[in-house]
């Protein structure tokens, strides 16, 4: 089975399709996990027009995809890429909790749910920025 997968992955079109498919599936799973740990419901709030939630969620999407970009670029297999991207996601989620904890003046999730766009923007920038730092640590 492994040799068949290797043969399939030697085709650049099949490899591209495999990497994108795995990334999209992981993105859905990782976003579900973020939805589980936030106090608000991302897609319900976005449907209502909550721009702060849209920015924070967009930052998470970009951050997750950027981690996959780094992991695909530096690893030889889909399996290694998935492991490194998952590791990067765990660091990203830990940073999210740290951001919430280190902001004692107000609760990040509550402010984002109230459509505080400044907080949503900062949350987006933190996710994007940290994805670059975390991505730079991903090794082959």
CA–CA separation, 50 vs 42, rounded Å?
9
pLDDT tens sequence across 10-41: 888 988 998 999 999 999 999 999 888 888 99
Q: CA-CA distance, 40 to 102, in Å (whole number)?
A: 19
Q: Do residues 28 and 94 touch, judged by C-beta distance below 8 A? A: no
Residues recorded for the chain: 140
Give residue-wise pLDDT tens across range 67-118: 999 999 998 788 888 999 999 999 999 988 888 888 878 889 999 999 999 9
Q: Token pair of 99, please?
A: 């951001």
Judge contact between 111 and 100, C-beta under 8 A: no
């Amino acid at each position: 089975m492994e040799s068949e997968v290797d043969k399939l992955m030697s085709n650049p079109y099949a490899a591209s399709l495999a990497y994108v498919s795995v990334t999209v599936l992981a993105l859905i799973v990782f976003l579900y996990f973020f939805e589980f740990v936030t106090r608000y419901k991302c897609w319900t709030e976005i449907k209502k027009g909550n721009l702060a939630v849209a920015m924070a969620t967009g930052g998470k999407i970009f951050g997750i995809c950027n981690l996959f970009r780094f992991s695909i670029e530096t690893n030889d297999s889909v399996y290694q890429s998935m492991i490194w991207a998952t590791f990067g996601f765990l660091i990203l989620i830990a940073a999210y909790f740290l951001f919430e904890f280190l902001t004692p003046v107000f609760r990040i999730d509550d402010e984002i749910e109230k459509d505080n766009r400044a907080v949503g923007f900062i949350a987006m920038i933190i996710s994007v920025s940290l994805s670059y730092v975390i991505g730079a640590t991903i090794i082959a």
